Amino acid sequence: MTLAEADLSVLVEEWLTWREAADRLGVSEAKVRTMVRDHELAAAVPVAGEGPRVPAAFLDDAGQPVKGLSGLLTVLSDGRYDDREIIAWLFTDADLPGRPIDALRENRGSEAKRRAQAMAL
């Protein structure tokens, strides 16, 4: 199965609507859309028929994007991965040990970023 075929509704435990993400970040919904466009966050439609959502794990306990997320999103986006594929990769167990999103959240994201750079080549 490719990253594009991954079932995001199974991989990601909690999703935020634009409004919920905006509330946690303390910004407007328009700003959340801008953050997604600028690769500060990523969003996808986890369930057909619903709107786009942001994985809750992308925000830290202070309600800010997880440290290192933006750089990793940019690297993968520049490598022609779309948000859906990027989210699937971040939430798939990938020999780090564990999932790349967990490595970022635990402030050990340098290995995740190195692997993302290798994927994007």
Residue 61 contacts residue 50 (beta carbons within 8 Å): no
pLDDT, one tens digit per residue, over 17-32 is 999 999 999 999 999 9
How many structural domains are present in the chain?
A: 1
pTM: 0.93
Q: Looking only at Cα atoms, what is the longest distance across the chain?
A: 37
User: Which helix (H) or strand (E) is 98 found in, with range?
Assistant: none
Per the CB < 8 A criterion, the answer to whether 18 and 33 are in contact is yes
Element (H, E) at 16: strand 15-16
User: Containing domain of residue 20, as a range?
Assistant: 3-120
Provide, rounded to the nearest whole percent, the portion of the chain with pLDDT above 90: 73
